[in-house]
Structure 1
Amino acid sequence: MRRFTDDKKQLWVFDKSTGKIFPTTCENIAGENQFYWNEELNEQGHDPLTLEKQFADLEGEAAAITNDWFRQFSRNKKLIIPKINREIMSLYLATQLLRTAEARNRIVEFSKISNPGYDAENDARQLHIALIWDTKLVESMCKRIKSCIWMFGLNETATPFLTSDHPVLIKNFENTQWLSGPVVYEPGMYIVFPLTPQLIMYAKDHKHWKGAKIFKDSITPVTFDQHMVQHENSGQVGMSNRFIFSNENNFDFAKEFLTDNETFKDPKRSRFINKPRGD
């Protein structure tokens, strides 16, 4: 998140549910207090914030790795990524898909659909924690992400990449639809993750994107124009839960997108009906 601050270390926030824009700091965007509080651990006499602390450690490791990437990219356009770093970043991306408020809303809605009459809202936190601590699921997601072709796009336009409260996204092979949920097994899918206002990461299904192998761990030669940047930003605007972040006080594109897609303003919208197109 710090890489999306302006020269004054401010992060600009657009609340798409209210239309309000305001500056803040990364410290104030730490997330909901005790979002990962585990009552079961608390009742057993263990630290109820174990998961939150695990995420903090993982974030620190991921930040160190991406800082190394930026240093490497300052010298050349291809990265050297040690095996352990690829494993850590795969875990980071997998858990980012699972840990957000957007992911929690999705599992609550799915539980309501699967079990009519069940008060999933009341168990939202524990349902979410159980999903995140599903070792088999997380390990499988990590393996899939690690096997992808990792590549990067450089944005040299005046329009920055945006990020959000649900920053790691997935797109379909046809490049026409943002996919809801941690669907890393979708044939041909690819992950889209803005790293800075100027740099974006892709992780593409290696079986369906064989031609992309020549750009593995590299900045692609594709020249981004404003439309291409907005194409990626549409995902952050539409697939986020509520908040969109930028290093600039300019959310004109987000407002325009939401004018045409009003449903995505509502944090309580259905995740199983509405998906923004990748136009």
Structure 2
Amino acid sequence: MNQHVRNQHYVPQFLLKNFSSRGDKFIWAYDKNEKYNIHNQIKERAIRRVASEEFFYDQFKSSKIGSYEYALKEAEDAAAPIISNIINTKSIRDLSKKDRRRLSLFITLQYLRTKGQLLQTEYLTNTLSEQIKQKTNIQIEKVDSKKIWFLMLEQSIKFPEILMNKVWMLSESNNSFYISDNPVALQNSTDTSKVRGTLGLQSFGIEIYLPLSPSLTLCLFCEKLFKNSGYEKNFIENSTCAPENIKNLNSLQINYSQRFIFSHKKDFDLVKKQLKNTTHK
């Protein structure tokens, strides 16, 4: 019987290795939680030890039975060679329907599986319980947020079709992209309503971004925008990012990160500037 995986990654190692600083083993990391020790704030860390936590996906701690680690690993193994080929060819033109489906599942799971998403689930469930208590004076039994989060992972099979229908594109840079510990970032530049949510996977104008390497970010755009213009293909040609586009994509990684921003090089000036401006607001 295979030994149970102890250190479970919520960002796959194969993806982080694309951003490695040396030998597929190390990566530069900026720790947002470290406020005082500069050496620990920006540090070259072992990839096997970042964006991970012991028994993170276990329903029963230290037990292989019922652990989500292995279903997630299957999705990783299916997506890894497709992403490797995209990086090598710098193209998504020839992706088969099967490849798009596998990548769509991978992106969906990557969006849901991080510690940042778990903490967000905990925050929302606790907030809802508190609001019910305040309005009804009824004490709600403590909700197991992690069970709800696991249920979300189980329901993820419903979402890949939504992503498959998007219009896909590769954004290119000169080795300038960051990745974070919560790397699937959403944006809506079309619908900027402050009254309703605009970041649902089916929202009009939704944009979905996943960095694949320092030079490539996979972009998924709302298909409705293109169909309204008569465009029927499911991809558009690569776009070379202008400096402001690179800054925007990296800013999204900083905003979505739970704790760490990663890079293949020791350059986190944008992170420092953005976090400083956020603190001073």
How does the TM-score come out when normalised to structure 1?
0.79
Task: Give the aligned partner of residue 171 of structure 1.
Answer: 187
Task: Give the aligned partner of residue 153 of structure 2.
Answer: 132
SS of corresponding position for 2:266: coil
Q: How does 1:94-133 map to 2 (within 5 A)?
A: 94-116=108-130, 118=140, 123-133=144-154
Task: Give the aligned partner of residue 249 of structure 2.
Answer: 232
For structure 1, the residue ranges without an aligned partner over 5 or more in a row are 265-279
Cα separation, partners in 2 of 1:72 and 1:152, compared to 1, 3 Å = same
| 2:213 pairs with 1:189 | no
- The runs of at least 4 consecutive aligned structure 1 residues that moved more than 3 Å come to 117-120, 179-182, 209-219
Alignment counterpart, residue 173 of structure 2, candidates 155, 160, 167: 155
| 2:264 pairs with 1:247 | yes
Task: Give the aligned partner of residue 17 of structure 2.
Answer: 2
**Residue 240 of structure 1: how far off its partner (Å):** 1.0
**Residue 133 of structure 1: how far off its partner (Å):** 1.3
For structure 2, the residue ranges without an aligned partner over 5 or more in a row are 1-15, 36-40, 131-138
RMSD between superposed Cα atoms in Å: 2.9
**Residue 141 of structure 1: how far off its partner (Å):** 1.7
**Residue 259 of structure 1: how far off its partner (Å):** 0.6
Contact 1:13 1:21 in 2 (8 A): yes
**Residue 213 of structure 1: how far off its partner (Å):** 4.6
Task: Give the aligned partner of residue 54 of structure 2.
Answer: 33
Whole-Å Cα distance in 2 between the matches of residues 58 and 207 of structure 1? 28
Whole-Å Cα distance in 2 between the matches of residues 30 and 23 of structure 1? 14
Deviation by residue 1:116-148 (Cα, 9 ceiling, x = unmatched): 25575x7232221122112xxx23321110110
Q: Which has the larger radius of gyration?
A: 2
Contact 1:166 1:236 in 2 (8 A): yes
Identity of aligned residues (%): 22
SS of corresponding position for 2:151: helix
Contact 1:98 1:182 in 2 (8 A): no
* Pairs aligned (count): 249
Task: Supply the AA of the counterpart residue of 1:174.
Answer: T
Task: Give the aligned partner of residue 69 of structure 1.
Answer: 86
How does the TM-score come out when normalised to structure 2?
0.79
| 2:164 pairs with 1:142 | no
Contact 2:189 2:205 in 1 (8 A): yes
Task: Supply the AA of the counterpart residue of 2:166.
Answer: C
SS of corresponding position for 2:83: helix
